[in-house]
Amino acid sequence: MIDVVCVLALAACVVASGIWIVDVEHRSRQLFIEAERLNRQLDQLQVDWGRLQIEQGMFATHGRIEALARERLQLKVPSDDQLLIVVEPAH
């Protein structure tokens, strides 16, 4: 009788450990899928960041700023008679 109880207990342990292994494998696969998704998202964000840095460099060029100042603000280079040169007195 004790042998039957031991065998049933061992069988229950084997079944429980099998179920536990399947659950762990499933969670492992889910975490791997999530990690891969996050890696793809990281790659895309790095591409976007590089593109934004290039765009910022393009928008910050001297020629572009000068062109925008001329177009939007109607700024122009002053003529010689409009310039006033201030010289700091020597001590």
Condensed to tens digits (0 to 9), the pLDDT of residues 25-49 reads 999 999 999 999 999 999 999 999 9
Domain assignment present for 89: no
What pLDDT does residue 69 have?
86
Tell me the pTM: 0.56
63: in domain: yes
Count of domains for the chain:
1
Residues 6+ apart with CB under 8 A from 31: none
- Flag whether 58 is in a domain: yes
Of the candidates 40, 64, 62, 44, the residue with the CA atom closest to the CA atom of residue 52: 44
CA distance 67 to 43: 35
The domain in which residue 52 lies consists of 43-76
In a domain, 49, yes or no: yes
For residue 57, tell me if it sits in a domain: yes
In a domain, 7, yes or no: no
Q: Is residue 53 part of a domain?
A: yes
